[in-house]
Amino acid sequence: MAADSPQPPAVAVENLTKVFKAGLGKAAFTAVRDLSLTVQPGEVYGLIGPNGCGKSTTMKAILGLVIPTHGRTAIFGRSSTLVESRREVGFLPENPYFYKHLNGLETLLFYGRLCNMKAAELKDRAREMLALTGLEDAADRRVSGYSKGMLQRLGLAQALLHQPRLIVLDEPTAGVDPAGSRKIRDLILSFKSQGITVLVTSHLLEQMQEVCDRVGIMAHGQMVRQGRVDELIAVENETELVLADASPELLAEIRALVESKGQGAKVVRSGHPRTTLEKLFLEVADQ
């Protein structure tokens, strides 16, 4: 490959339309309509929207689990219909389940073998992934006894096992408690620092805001808005100023200053900023 040839996007979705045929006498259902998106290598892209808006169908199309009715999807330039396209992708489905009779380590070994990993390398890598996702102690326990959060982490370990360049996460924090959710968020941020591309869906906007470089907002099977997170959420004509240990006198002075020299600027609100419930829970849980 020539050094100067442009790198293909990690994920390319072009004019994707997916219509599910229904049984006799029922109308067909259009899950996704003319959707296009591109995820560049190294980016964290969030696909957000309410339940049933077509996020999961889009992901399945990217992973080749459903065949597009129109349009095409590709991973690192390879069409999703090719098995090769899945060599560099790790997938964590929503609420993953694994073979209940296997333990954590055996589950990873199973998926590793499916990726044709060599036995010695696989064993080390599986241990490493269990450590990374904090499941070392549960490695010898049957998966049937895992909590929802543990299953989610095992799912992540499984997705990362073969060192993919792209990770696709479907609702990674659904049903997980805030501590687990925070852990997953931290993992996503660490992927980013390692240069791994992440495509993540969620309906929890706050979390997405923390990790994503860019987001796309879907509704009714269509892309409604798309762009950089800071651009999308910035309120351009407001400025926030947070002070600690400010005396009432100082606050009154600031107010007066704004009124006298503000040139049209005005104080919209003031008061004590509230901590988020999520932050509070984490603080209490850590003590």
Residues that bind another protein (CB under 8 A): 20, 60, 63-67, 83-84, 86-87, 89-91, 93-102, 110-111, 113-116, 155, 158, 162, 168
**DSSP readout, 137-196?**
GGTTSBGGG--HHHHHHHHHHHHHTT--SEEEEESTTTT--HHHHHHHHHHHHHHHHTT-
- CB-nearer residue toward another protein: 49 or 90: 90
- CB-nearer residue toward another protein: 43 or 170: 170
CA-nearest of 271, 258, 96 to 173 is 96
- CB-nearer residue toward another protein: 48 or 168: 168
Strands 70-75 and 78-79, by their bridges, are antiparallel
- CB-nearer residue toward another protein: 159 or 217: 159
User: Dihedral, CA atoms, 67, 72, 78, 81, nearest 10 degrees?
Assistant: 10
- CB-nearer residue toward another protein: 89 or 217: 89
Q: Give the bridge partners for 188, in sequence order.
A: none
Helix/strand/coil percentages in the chain, nearest 5: 40, 20, 40
Q: Report the nearest approach of another protein to the CB of residue 192 (Å).
A: 21
- CB-nearer residue toward another protein: 31 or 223: 31
Q: Report the nearest approach of another protein to the CB of residue 63 (Å).
A: 5
Environment class of 132 (CB within 10 Å of its CB; exposed 0-12, middle 13-18, buried 19+): middle
Q: Report the nearest approach of another protein to the CB of residue 269 (Å).
A: 46
Q: Report the nearest approach of another protein to the CB of residue 166 (Å).
A: 11
Q: Report the nearest approach of another protein to the CB of residue 133 (Å).
A: 15
Q: Report the nearest approach of another protein to the CB of residue 101 (Å).
A: 4
